[in-house]
Amino acid sequence: MGSTHPRPRFFTAYSFAIVTGALFVLSWVGQLVFQLIEVRNDSAEHGQAFEWAQFWPQFLSSTFENWQSEFLQLVWQAAGLALFYFWGSSQSREGDDRMEAKIDRLLMDRGIDPAEFELAEDLRAEGQVGRP
């Protein structure tokens, strides 16, 4: 059966990736332009002709240095944290325990015993009680 919610438009669904990609391309083009100007000025100061064959290795070297120092660290932080959260690291369990304690406290403030929900959930998991 199909979903009751229509699928969002492409630009709505992927807007973060599109904006991130556009910023990446703009910054890379900016690096290309400004490094090109710098290398051409440097060549002119030394009385040498600008050569593309010498420019590309220098440009790619600085690009990979930037990626190594910035992009890879950020990716590891974001992807690594998401992966550890998914695996259920001690930090993610701590957050779940805190959330459960807060919910239990709210239930007790309203005069409801949180243990009632644990029993009902256990019975549902065993298939003894139908879902509401």
Confidence at residue 66, expressed as pLDDT on a 0 to 100 scale: 82
**Predicted TM-score (pTM) of this structure:** 0.52
Q: At what angle do helices 72-87 and 90-109 cross, to 10 degrees?
A: 50
Closest CA to 24 of 79, 82, 83, 74: 74
Whether 2 has a pLDDT exceeding 60, the answer reads no
Confidence at residue 27, expressed as pLDDT on a 0 to 100 scale: 92
CA angle, residues 114, 115, 120, in degrees to nearest 5: 105
pLDDT in tens, 26-69: 999 999 999 999 999 999 999 999 999 999 999 999 998 888 77
CA 82 – CA 85 distance, rounded (Å)? 5
**Residue 22 φ/ψ, nearest 5 degrees:** -65, -45
Whether 1 has a pLDDT exceeding 70, the answer reads no
